[in-house]
Amino acid sequence: MLNDGGDALQTPLHAQRILSLLIEDPHERMYVTTLRTTRLVRQGEVLFDEGQGSDGLYATAESMVRLQRWIDGELRMLQFVGPFQWFGELEAIDGLPRVAEAVAARTGPILHLSTDALRLWWQSYPAARDHSLRLITAKLRHLIDESTAQHRLTSEAFLAYHVLYLSRTLVDSDGSPAILLPLTQTDLAALLGVSRQRINQILRQWQASRWISIHYRGMELLDRGALTRLAAGKRPFSSGTP
Residues 211 and 172 in one domain: yes
Say yes or no to pLDDT of 29 above 80.
yes
Q: Looking at the structure, tell me whether residues 89 and 166 fall in a common domain.
A: no
For 75-120, what is each residue's pLDDT tens digit?
Answer: 889 999 988 899 999 999 999 999 999 999 989 999 999 999 999 9
Q: What is the CATH number of the domain that holds 105?
A: 2.60.120.10
What pLDDT, on a 0 to 100 scale, did the predictor assign at position 173? 57
> How many distinct structural domains can be found in the chain?
2
Residues 118, 47 share a domain: yes
> Bridge partners of 106?
64
Q: Which of 111, 141, 171 is the last residue of a domain?
A: 141
In terms of domains, do 116 and 162 share one?
no
pTM: 0.81
pLDDT for the residue 60: 92
Q: Is a pLDDT exceeding 50 seen at residue 4? A: no
Domain that holds residue 206: 153-231
pLDDT band per the 50, 70, 90 thresholds, residue 20: confident
Assess whether 214 and 125 both reside in one domain: no
Of 141, 167, 197, the one marking the end of a domain is 141
Q: Between the CA of residue 25 and those of 58, 78, 99, 125, what are the distances in Å?
A: 19, 31, 31, 10
Closest C-alpha among 92, 139, 132 to residue 113: 92
Q: How far is CA 222 from CA 9, 188, 210, in A?
A: 36, 18, 7
Residues 124, 161 within the same domain: no
Instruction: CATH number of the domain at 174, please.
Output: 1.10.10.10
pLDDT at res. 240: 45
Please report whether residue 131 resides in a domain.
yes
Sheet holding 212-215: strands in order across? 180-181, 218-221, 212-215
Say whether both 57 and 122 belong to one domain: yes
Q: What is the pLDDT of residues 183-228, one digit of tens each?
A: 889 899 988 889 999 999 999 999 999 999 998 878 999 999 999 9
On average, the pLDDT of the chain sits at 86
- Name the domain boundary from 89, 109, 141: 141
How far is the C-alpha of 164 from the C-alpha of 213, rounded, in Å?
15
**Do 122 and 41 have their domain in common?**
yes
Residue 50 lies in a domain: yes
112 falls within a domain: yes
Residue 57 in this model has a pLDDT that exceeds 60: yes
86 occurs within a structural domain: yes
Position 14 pLDDT exceeds 50: yes
Give the model's pLDDT for residue 3. Answer: 34
Q: Does 170 have pLDDT greater than 70?
A: yes
Kindly state whether residue 170 falls inside one of the protein's structural domains. Answer: yes
pLDDT at 37 > cutoff 50 = yes
Of 126-130, 166-170, 184-188, give the lowest mean pLDDT range.
166-170
Output the DSSP codes for 147-177. Answer: HHHHHHS-HHHHHHHHHHHHHHHS--TTSSP
**104 and 162 housed in the same domain:** no
Q: Same domain, yes or no, for 50 and 117?
A: yes
11 has a pLDDT exceeding 90: no
